[in-house]
Amino acid sequence: MWSGKMRTTHWVFIFVTFLFLNGCSGSKQGVPAFYSPSLSNPNVEISIEVLFDNLEMCESIHPRFASVYSSGFVDSVAMNFQMELPESAVRTTESVMLQRKLFDHFTFEDPHFRIIPQLYTAERGLTNKNIYVLPFTSISFGDTLLISESFSPILKRGDRIVEINHTSVAQYLAHSYRDRYIHTPLLQTQFHFAYSNNYHLLIERGEMIKYMIVEGIKLPEYYEQVQSRPDWTLYPSYLTGCFRIDEFKENKKIVDELSSFLNKMKRLGYKNLVIDLRWNPGGSGDQIESLMALISSKRTLYYQKEVKVKLTQQNFGKYVFPRDSLNKLVSLPDRWVINHIDVSPSSFARELKLYVLVSRNTGSMAACFANLIQYNDIGLVAGEPLLRNALKYGEVVEERAGVATFFISTVEYDDYTKAVDGVLFPDIMIPYKVDQFMDGGDPVMEQLLTNIRFRQEIKQRRVPF
């Protein structure tokens, strides 16, 4: 297996946007002594009025939230919320969890919708460079968390994290959105800003439980480690090349680098291409025509039927509609809709066997990319089913409300798709099994490569000699 790095991206992960550092002299109640003394999780007041104000804000922005659930449903959840309200103020992170009792129902409708607690500091000189985070990325299976990539010499891929700083991982995950792949700074932010210079870990490795103390790494270093992943990998035994796209950003660079990689594959005689989107939450659709021209065996690809947008004060100037359209859901004119994509396939693209590897994390533009491949029959999608409505919404904006940041979609898409009830199912189903990942490899990729070899063998048997 050969691998190489072809580009240095400047991917700003979704969690970077909420790691604001604001001067605050609030209480540090609930933060254990071994956490950074400069960070604060202040107590805040939470009320039914706050809940409804935030609900009204979300409904004014999102295309469908105002019509997804009946008023009776909202009233019922609100009543339970009020019954659970504490008599006194609660920590910032707990106030967000209380609100999620209502808002997680909207996340089921739109997986892009999230609420993230606001990080505070009592020290004005503190910056992201002074925050130390867990030195690994993670993959989750229910209440089980494994190391996906380790940035520490004493931790290994596949290690099961049992406890972090004497707190069970199940408690961390109870406060987290259950993505398949989870960036640990996001996990720590949602669990009471649990940052520390050193981390006391209880791990399971090879049926043995081990206690370790590991050093945290600075937040910028974490980003650098993640961005340093190889963008491409060659599997000579399978005559296969894999190109990894973690975000559709700087797409012209992605097109150039994929073109270069395909030339490398062509010189080597490889005709199986895997595009790995397992970590990809989305991004921009810019350069989609150029990207498809590199890999499509067909001249016409059907893409979008209709695009709708909720017109707000923030986005009204972007579109041309009468003033009375404000706060309404409107269909965009044809010039804003990409009904189909016309490409001129290269001779090598016609020979390619294309596979797109996805996970529950594959969303927004990445989900649209996988859908384009599947619907137009130019390749096969492999992995696990995408989250419900991963294709349906996008153009996410950030709205700060009190102690939380809301991530809210503003656009609704109606794409040509084979999705069933909003769920895009892969052509090659590869289940995620925790015991396989604990061996430390990449069982999903390994199973896909096995499937590719099997298809090659079947094809060779059908060719007459």
Residue spans of alpha helices (H) in 191-250 = 219-227
Angle formed at CA 41 by CA 38 and CA 46, multiple of 5 degrees: 155
Q: Amino acid identity of 16?
A: V
Region 128-226: CATH code: 2.30.42.10
CA distance 23 to 120: 7
Contact between 175 and 191 under an 8 Å Cβ cutoff? The reply is: yes
- Looking up tokens 């910028």 gives 220
Parallel, antiparallel or unpaired: strands 232-235 and 2-4: antiparallel
**Pick from 423, 371, 431, 384: which is nearest to 108 by CA?**
423
Q: What is the share, in percent, of the chain residues with pLDDT greater than 90?
A: 67
Beta bridge partners of 2: 234
CA distance 73 to 56: 15
CA distance 348 to 239: 15
DSSP 192: T
CA distance 200 to 248: 36
Q: Where in the chain is the domain with CATH 3.90.226.10?
A: 230-462
25: pLDDT strictly greater than 50: no
Q: 158-187: b or e for each residue (b if 16 or more CB lie within 10 Å)?
A: bbbbbbbbeeebeebbebbbebbbbbbbbb
Q: Where in the chain is the domain with CATH 2.30.42.10?
A: 128-226
SS (H, E, C) 354-413: EEEEECCCCCHHHHHHHHHHHHCCCCEEEECCCCCCCCCEEEEEEEEECCEEEEEEEEEE
Average of per-residue pLDDT across 440-462: 91
Region 230-462: CATH code: 3.90.226.10
* Strand locations in 142-216 (E): 144-150, 160-164, 167-168, 181-183, 198-205, 208-215
Angle formed at CA 230 by CA 227 and CA 232, multiple of 5 degrees: 135
Model confidence pLDDT, tens digit, residues 184-239: 999 999 998 899 999 999 999 998 999 999 999 999 999 999 998 889 999 999 99
Mean of the per-residue pLDDT values of the chain: 87
The length of the chain in residues reads: 465
CA distance 414 to 394: 11
Model confidence pLDDT, tens digit, residues 334-361: 988 999 999 988 889 999 999 999 999 9
Parallel, antiparallel or unpaired: strands 217-218 and 132-133: antiparallel
Indicate the pTM of the whole model.
0.89
The residues, ordered by sequence, that sit 6+ positions from 213 with a Cβ below 8 Å of its Cβ are 198, 199, 200, 201
CA distance 97 to 120: 17
Model confidence at 453, in pLDDT bands (50, 70, 90)? very high
Tokens representing residue 122 in the block: 């009592």
Model confidence pLDDT, tens digit, residues 54-113: 999 999 999 999 888 777 888 888 888 888 888 788 888 999 999 998 899 999 999 999
Tokens representing residue 440 in the block: 């430390």
**Pick from 256, 247, 193, 456: which is nearest to 362 by CA?**
247
14: pLDDT strictly greater than 50: no
260: pLDDT strictly greater than 70: yes
CA distance 222 to 16: 11
Model confidence pLDDT, tens digit, residues 358-399: 999 999 999 999 999 999 999 999 999 999 999 999 989 899
CA distance 107 to 174: 15
The residues, ordered by sequence, that sit 6+ positions from 137 with a Cβ below 8 Å of its Cβ are 147, 148, 149, 181, 182, 183, 184, 226
Model confidence pLDDT, tens digit, residues 125-169: 566 778 899 999 999 999 999 999 999 999 999 999 999 999 999
